[in-house]
Amino acid sequence: MKKLRLCTPGPTEVHPETLLAMAAPVIHHRSRPAVELIGRVHTSLQKLFFTKQRVFMISGSGTSAMEAAVVNHFSPGDEVITIEGGKFGERWSSIARAYGLKVHAVGVEWGTALSPEQLYHELEAHPNSKGVFATCVETSTATLTDIKGLAKMVQRTKAILVVDAVSAIGAVPLKMDEWGVDVVATGSQKAMMLPPGLAFIACSVKAIDMWSNATLPRFYFDLGAMDKAWGKSSTPFTPPISLVVGLEDALLKIEEEGLESVWFTTEALGRAARAGVAGLGLEVYSKQPAPGVTAGLLPEGCDGKKLVNEVRDRFNIFIAGGQGKLAARIIRLSSMGYTDRFDLIAALGAIEKVLCEMGFAPPVPGGAITDAMREMEGA
């Protein structure tokens, strides 16, 4: 009977209408209805990505699109710069190293973001770099990077800017063509309001020009094959067609609401989540907080794993703990996608209750919820 509330920063809650759309009888992915469907979502995806370029769909997780970004643009030994400000920044380095690239990893204090000026110096220090790998929203630290600023620096060079936009697309402004971002990779289970299993990637002309010279081996992730299929509203391999059906539903919902309005709501909910986290007596972890995900640093001695598990097991509310070196040290809440203010205060209420019982009562009972509500006035 307990109502399930998914407040994790991915997967995020999926609209019941989208879930039911995906429960319709499966259609064949090469039949005319599927071809027409794929054609329609292609157009919607271009709007969502703010690009005139093609947005390719991959059957896979967000990481599959990240790997596609690596293997299509580079050759063994190529120098690249990766920005490591959290678990997902580190993933860029791991993929690049797995494929034999020469990685200049820029360490960034977790919870902060590399500034365009800092990137400028890195590009000066490594003038042969062919790519810069950044993370728009570092989900593990709930931190936003100034991609527009980074793009200005990378544009002056021969390098391409490759952006992990997994918790970004649909949550924060990311205007691919206007900002001059070269590769945007994302997944379905964040602000795109779908279950996981679909990944997306789009490339600038500058990036596409690198495909033919890139000698890294690829087959499943070959963007050239995807590009050929795109023109026929198709995919090189069987797409997860039920997710594509859901995608159309979710994209229509975003279009109806208006993307600018979705960004505005996400921003307001993010402010509210930070106010709420502070009201719980936690420190907002990130110094450059992202709108769609909020991390709160737990007091010393407070076991984050226990907190997350108790909130889930007793109230069926799913929140996230920390990853990597932040495991058990932080909690994370989503304000992306199909999340509203009442989900947020439900989560804050549950967290407060469990924190109290664990001996970490917040300064003012109910203060977290009041603070969060106040931040949302007018939103």
The contact set with a copy of itself (CB under 8 A) reads 4, 6, 8, 10-14, 19-20, 22-32, 58-64, 67, 94-95, 98-100, 187, 189, 195-198, 216-220, 222, 237-243, 309, 312-313, 318, 320
Torsions phi, psi for 194 (to 5 deg): -130, 165
Count other Cβ atoms within 10 Å, centred on residue 347.
28
Q: What span, in angstroms and rounded, lies between the C-alpha atoms of 127 and 117?
A: 15
Q: Which is nearer to a copy of itself, 49 or 99 (CB)?
A: 99
Q: What span, in angstroms and rounded, lies between the C-alpha atoms of 110 and 353?
A: 29
Q: Are 183 and 202 in contact (CB under 8 A)?
A: yes
Q: What span, in angstroms and rounded, lies between the C-alpha atoms of 195 and 87?
A: 21
Q: How far is the CB of 318 from a copy of itself (least distance, A)?
A: 5
Q: Which is nearer to a copy of itself, 63 or 118 (CB)?
A: 63
Q: Which is nearer to a copy of itself, 135 or 157 (CB)?
A: 135
Q: How far is the CB of 361 from a copy of itself (least distance, A)?
A: 26
Q: Which is nearer to a copy of itself, 152 or 253 (CB)?
A: 253
Chain position carrying tokens 């003038």: 127
Q: How far is the CB of 218 from a copy of itself (least distance, A)?
A: 7
Question: How is residue 146 written in tokens?
Answer: 């100034």
Q: How far is the CB of 67 from a copy of itself (least distance, A)?
A: 5
Count other Cβ atoms within 10 Å, centred on residue 205.
10
Chain position carrying tokens 């109230």: 315
314 three-class SS: helix
Closest CA to 86 of 282, 345, 322: 322
Q: What is the DSSP letter of 299?
A: P
Q: How far is the CB of 64 from a copy of itself (least distance, A)?
A: 5
Query: Rounded to an integer, what is the distance from CA 363 to the centroid of its chain?
Result: 33
Q: Which is nearer to a copy of itself, 173 or 224 (CB)?
A: 224
- Going by DSSP bridges, is the β-strand pair 293-297/283-284 parallel, antiparallel, or unpaired? antiparallel
Q: What span, in angstroms and rounded, lies between the C-alpha atoms of 214 and 242?
A: 33
Q: How far is the CB of 271 from a copy of itself (least distance, A)?
A: 24
Q: Are 84 and 139 in contact (CB under 8 A)?
A: no
First to last CA, the chain: 32
Q: Which is nearer to a copy of itself, 164 or 375 (CB)?
A: 164
Q: How far is the CB of 133 from a copy of itself (least distance, A)?
A: 13
Q: How far is the CB of 103 from a copy of itself (least distance, A)?
A: 13
- Going by DSSP bridges, is the β-strand pair 131-135/143-144 parallel, antiparallel, or unpaired? unpaired
